[in-house]
Amino acid sequence: MPTAISRRFTHDLRRLMLLSTPMGMVLTVAGLWLPYVLDVASGPTIVLVLALVFLLTTAAGRVRAAKRLPASEGSAAVPAEGGA
């Protein structure tokens, strides 16, 4: 999962490995700390933390990609009302 999250930021293999290792460590520690505070199971919490970060980075990437589209491209697919 950390590798899938890191792919959102880089496609270079070296950078991917350098980014996914500390990211996995930080997210795993966060997934272990939350159960300690909330008194819940640690395994599912780690998975939920990783999944949440994956979903957030995916959504942020899509929003950023949508902002890059020119306004004319986004409205070209919508037919005009009224006819010619």
Domain definitions of the chain by residue range: 2-66
pLDDT (tens digit, 9 = 90+) per residue, 6-61?
988 888 999 999 999 999 999 999 999 999 999 999 999 999 999 999 999 999 88
End-to-end CA distance of the chain: 52
Q: How confident is the model at residue 82 (pLDDT cuts 50, 70, 90)?
A: low
Residue 22 CB burial class (10 angstroms; 0-12, 13-18, ≥19): exposed
Q: How far apart are CA 1 and CA 68, in angstroms?
A: 27
Alpha helix stretches (DSSP H) within the chain: 2-6, 13-38, 42-68, 71-76
